[in-house]
Amino acid sequence: MELRTFGQAIAHIDLGSGSTEMRPAPADWVEKYIGARGLGVRYVLENGPEVEPLSPANLLCFINGPLTGSEASMSGRWACVTKSPLTGTVTDSHQGGWTGARLRWAGLDGLVFVGRAERPVYAFVEDGRISLRDASLVWGRGVHETVSFFEERYGDKNLSVCAIGPAGENLVRFAAWVNEDDRAFGRGGTGAVGGSKNLKAIVIRAKPRKSRVGDADAWKAVRRRALDAIRDEKNITSPRKGGLSVYGTNVLMNVTNQIGALGTRNSQVTSFGESAERISGEYVQQNILVDDPTCHACPVACKKEVEITEGPYAGLHMESVEYEPAWSLGANCDNADIGSIAKMIDQCNDLGMDPIELGNALSMYMEATERGYVEGAGLAWADTSAMVEMTEAIARREGAGDLLAEGPTVAARRLGHEELAMAVKGQALPAYDPRGLKGMGLGYATSNRGACHLRAYVAAAELGVVPIEVDPLEWKGKGALVKAFQDLHAFSDSLDLCKFSAFAEGPEEYAAQYATALGRSFTPEDVSTAGERIYNLERYYNNLAGFREGSDTLPERFVKEPSTEAGSRGHVSELAPMLAEYYAARGWEEGVVPEAKLRELGIL
Amino acid sequence: MGPKESRVQVSFFATLREIVGGRAFDVALPEGATVRELAEELARRWPGLREHLFTEDGALSRRVGLYVDGRNVRWLPDGDATVLAEHQSVAVIPPAAGG
């Protein structure tokens, strides 16, 4: 498996005509935009920013990074890139497990779909070839049944399946693609784009393959250095010793609760009090954890597989109880019942939906109900059986589920109270309250895909995990910091090493692995430059799509309602001065990339 | 009459709970004790904590955070010389990050 040829095997599939064609990515696109996120955005930009997201003309790209499927640690990820039906921005989402690796082993670097099939189809990939096959027998089924169906048909060895569920088929705006390991392309509604194309699944059969590079000894050495960093007991990635490995991402629940950055009841307050412990990573580890699954080439094993032992969901065996959905369906909805949280995450995995967006839709509706803005029964805080029922109703667009399937922003707008939607550019906020972690708030506002904790994970600095320590309650200096994180993550998302590699690796490790794998010269400074280029490319797309001055915002709650909880008491997000700092660092004019910057970066 | 005492509630998180064998403890300190003196007392009571709380040269480690009423002491005006009040809450939090 020659790593140096990355980008040459991109399959272009017209679902309308059924034709497939292999075309290499333009060499300068691969050079400038690396792969995965960056390369996918370049394809989507070329397709034109004016397309309707759920029209046949929208592109749906599944693109590997240049290291996906190799022996590089944490290289089991790939990207889905499209124009989002939730936000109208360009969006990219990343999935773990083995599916991206298996695409590489099958001889392809990416799949670019356009058009709409007349009847439901799935794409089958093997031995460097792709074919479209009838999916009528699985249309309407959940992801879990769909995976089982294809495993029975093709054998469960050396097989990966990535599918949409009923939510995608019903064009739920935050529908997701989910694979055989319950890993998702979670955010941005990419599953609805699949549903709009009548594309049910991607099925890949391939045995693992070893990588080939120009200098095998150098390749071994750079990988060893990265692996040593991941394993270092000082790092949270350290297998079975670091907090991320032992407790998974939900190690954060108690932490953000302590510092007044855990939004509760639709972010009306910033702490869940004593209840946070009951939905925390520590609680999961002590009481319901059964296994720690992992992804291709990853020693961290941050996934947490659980079995619920009591209550109405006793017997449920699922993965994974992550921080984000534990918050969105937990504290955010005033819900301290881990069993119902696990149930709803499992529902999202099967129905194919983003649990962050789901939780925010529910919490918005709960607050609207509390304030008397909802006709009929509405939804009460922490009514777990009603939450579970509503999750199903949203996927099927039944009753009030049809309203909430539009996402919290549109739903709140239709209720006449858009101020209740905690979202940016139409995508709901994740689990770090901007009043307690001010850099994260700026990251949400300036994210190119709507509110997102992963575009600029400055929490790593604000929580003292990486050796750049900043006060989470200080707004000064966050502009340049957010830019630096955004650029670094834009590069690592385009390499598509797992985001959590950044807790152990940095530009030196990324540059060394990329340069050695592809046999090209690449320095740590090139990491920043490429990352900045990719970030500006996305912003350029968004500017052309209508996101211009004034689109980088935060909901008023975070700017005007001070936190009342310990750790962040009295604080709001000072968004305006942070934005000014940020735009200066970026060289943008109120959120718009000037032509000179586009030329400087080689985008134009 | 002995020296006056104050009691603070100290809670531990993540991997530190295994070292101390629990979630939260009342810790008695001399009145007017500082955060640094609390850290010394914690390391005395649970020797396995010392390598997490202190560097080799005896400074407070910058990896494990000591939070007083939700604020990391390194951002408080008096830092680890912050004087603890009766019944104040201190959280001892190892590095944590995720998604």
Residues of B in contact with A281 (CB under 8 A): 14
Restricting to B residues 47-76, those with a Cβ less than 8 Å away from any Cβ of A are 62-63, 65, 67, 69-72, 74-75
Instruction: List all residues 6 or more positions away from A455 whose beta carbon is below 8 Å from its beta carbon.
Output: A443, A446, A447, A448, A449, A486, A489, A490
What number is the average pLDDT over the span A115-130? 98
Chain B residue nearest residue A235, CA to CA: B95
What six digits make up the tokens of A174?
């935050």
The last residue of one of the domains, among A428, A452, A467, is A428
| pLDDT at residue A69 tops 70 | yes
Same-domain pairing of A423 and A445: no
Asked which of A205, A239, A260 is the last residue of a domain, the reply is A205
Measured on CA atoms in the order A437, A438, A444, A446, is the torsion positive or negative? negative
- Whether residues A92 and A63 share a domain: the answer is yes
Residue A34 in any domain: the answer is yes
Assign A42 a pLDDT band (cuts: 50, 70, 90): very high
- pLDDT higher than 90, residue A601: yes
The answer to whether position A135 is within a domain reads: yes
Is residue A238 included in any domain, yes or no? Answer: no
Same domain, A415 and A458: no
Indicate yes or no: CB of A463 within 8 angstroms of CB of B97. Answer: yes
In chain A, residues with a C-beta closer than 8 Å to the C-beta of B53 are: none
State whether A296 and A383 are in the same domain: yes
Closest CA to A81 of A68, A94, A67: A94
Angle among Cα A101, A509, A604 to the nearest 5 degrees reads 80
Please report where in the chains the tokens 């590095």 appear, as a residue: B95
Residues A510 and A409 in one domain: no
- A288 and A417 housed in the same domain: yes
Say if residue A600's pLDDT is above 60: yes
A513, A72 contact by CB (below 8 A) = yes
Do B97 and A465 count as a contact with CB atoms less than 8 A apart?
yes
What does the block give as tokens for A297?
């080439």
Question: Are B97 and A241 inside 8 Å of each other by CB?
Answer: no
- Residue finishing a domain among A179, A205, A231: A205
Amino acid (1-letter code) at residue A98: W
Q: Do B71 and A567 touch (CB under 8 A)?
A: yes
pLDDT at residue A468 in the model: 87
Q: How far apart, in Å, do the first and last CA atoms of chain A sit? A: 33
| Domain contains A214 | no
Cross-chain Cβ contact A243/B96 below 8 Å: yes
By CB atoms closer than 10 A (0-12, 13-18, 19+), residue A599 is: exposed
Phi and psi at A18, nearest 5°, equal 85, 5
Chain A 150-169, CB below 8 Å of chain B: which residues? none
Q: Please state the length of chain A.
A: 604
CATH code of residue A495: 1.10.599.10
**One domain for residues A591 and A481:** yes
In chain A, the number of structural domains is: 3
Whether residue A212 is contained in a domain is answered as no
Q: Secondary structure of A407-475 in the HEC alphabet?
A: CHHHHHHHCCCHHHCCEECCEECCCCCCCCCHHHHHHHHHCECECCCCCCCCHHHHCCCCCCCCCCCCC
Cα separation of A452 and A448, whole Å?
9
The two three-digit tokens of residue A73, written as one number: 């640690």
Q: Which domains does chain B have, with CATH numbers?
A: 5-93 (3.10.20.30)
* Chain A interface, best mutation among B16, B72, B90, by max A CB count within 10 A: B72
Whether A345 and A492 share a structural domain: no
- Interface predicted TM-score of the whole assembly (ipTM), two decimals: 0.96
pLDDT tens track for A87-114: 999 999 999 999 999 999 999 999 999 9
The answer to whether the CB atoms of A566 and B70 lie below 8 A apart is yes
Q: Which residue of A has its CA nearest to B73?
A: A471
In chain B, the residue whose alpha carbon lies closest to the alpha carbon of A262 is B70
Look up the CATH number of the domain holding residue A338: 1.10.569.10
CA–chain centroid gap for A407, Å, is 16
What is the spatial distance between Cα A127 and Cα A431, in angstroms, rounded to a whole number?
41
Residue A400 zone, left/alpha/beta (φ > 0; ψ -120 to 50; rest): alpha
Cβ-contact A84, A447 below 8 angstroms: no
Beta bridge partners of A402: none
The answer to whether position A13 is within a domain reads yes
Residue that is written with structure tokens 């750049």 in the block: A468
pLDDT at B2: 59
Contact B95 A236 (CB under 8 A): yes
Buried b (16+ CB within 10 A) or exposed e, A406-416: bbbbbbbbebe
Q: Using alpha carbons, select from A466, A369, A513 the residue that is nearest to residue A72.
A: A513
Is the confidence at residue A56, as pLDDT, over 80? yes
Contact A251 B91 (CB under 8 A): no
User: B60 in helix, strand or coil?
Assistant: strand
Clarify whether residues A372 and A460 are in a common domain: no
DSSP A499: G
Q: Are residues A47 and A10 in the same domain?
A: yes
Mean pLDDT, all residues of chain A: 97
CB A230 within 8 A of CB A238: yes
Over residues A162-175, the mean pLDDT reads 98
Query: How close is the nearest chain A Cα to the Cα of B75, in Å?
Result: 6
pLDDT for A156 equals 86
Mark yes or no for CB contact A251/B96 under 8 Å: yes
Are residue A132 and residue A151 in the same domain, yes or no? yes
* Separation between Cα atoms, residue B88 and residue A328, nearest integer Å: 30
Is the pLDDT score of A467 beyond 90? Answer: no
* Structural domain harbouring A583: 438-553+574-600
Q: What is the CATH number of the domain that holds A101?
A: 3.60.9.10
Q: What is the pLDDT along chain B (99 residues), one digit of tens a residue?
A: 557 888 999 999 999 999 999 999 999 999 999 999 999 999 999 999 999 999 999 999 988 999 999 999 999 999 999 999 999 999 999 999 888
CA nearest neighbour of A265 among A389, A154, A363? A363
Does any domain span residue A450? yes
A565 in any annotated domain: no
* Chain B CA closest to residue A261: B70
List A residues 191-250 in contact with B (Cβ-Cβ < 8 A): 234, 236, 241-244, 246-250
Phi, psi torsion values for B40, nearest 5 degrees: -60, -45
Same structural domain for residues A347 and A466? no
State the pLDDT at residue A466: 85
Sign of CA dihedral B6, B10, B16, B17: positive
Distance from A476 to chain B by nearest Cα, in Å? Answer: 14
